[in-house]
Amino acid sequence: MTSRMPSVGGLTQTGGYVEAGAVRNADEWFRLMVETGLAPGLRALGLSGNGRHFRVIENAHVGQISILQSAKSSTYSTRFTLSLSVTATDEWASQLRIRPYTRAAGHTGAGWQERIGNLMLVGSGVPIGDLWWKIEAGRPFANLSAEVLTAVREFGLPAIRGQIRARVH
């Protein structure tokens, strides 16, 4: 059991955090937040999917939300953002057939793609810009998950649906 590992303030000598008998670093903590916080929340908003890719299919178009983790992370924290896209279903299906790796990388081929921060307007309608959330290993993430899901509900899904409407009409 990991609880016998020497620790200071919950941080073990190996650089992970002790949580319910398991040592977790920032990457593992991030995966836990996605699996237990973001994924169920995105499904509750009407998206389907798993891992870090969730989608809604409407009017022969696929709207996708991809959770992108920064390549620069430490044992203690990591950052992530959301990439949103809309692609016609025939284009989306052909891209998966021709280059299945592109989906995993968050590429959508033709269509619309935007980061969530560029859709979130503040003040007099100015976009926040490049928005990254930070999660720290061992810290509660319920409020962080709720904040991300609010951004999806208030800005992400309306933008996706607006892009689909623009392509249909």
Residue, of 13 and 169, whose pLDDT is higher = 169
Mean pLDDT throughout 137-154?
Answer: 96
Mean pLDDT throughout 5-21?
Answer: 43
Mean pLDDT estimate for the chain: 83
pLDDT at 108: 46
Mean pLDDT throughout 124-144?
Answer: 93
> Which percentage of the chain shows pLDDT scores above 90?
63
Mean pLDDT throughout 91-112?
Answer: 59
Ordered DSSP codes for 21-79: TEEE-HHHHHHHHIIIIIHHHHHHTT-EEETTEEEEEETTEEEEEEEEE-S---SSEEE
* CB within 8 Å of 1: residues ≥ 6 apart: 21
Domain boundaries of the chain, sorted by first residue:
26-168
pLDDT at 168: 83
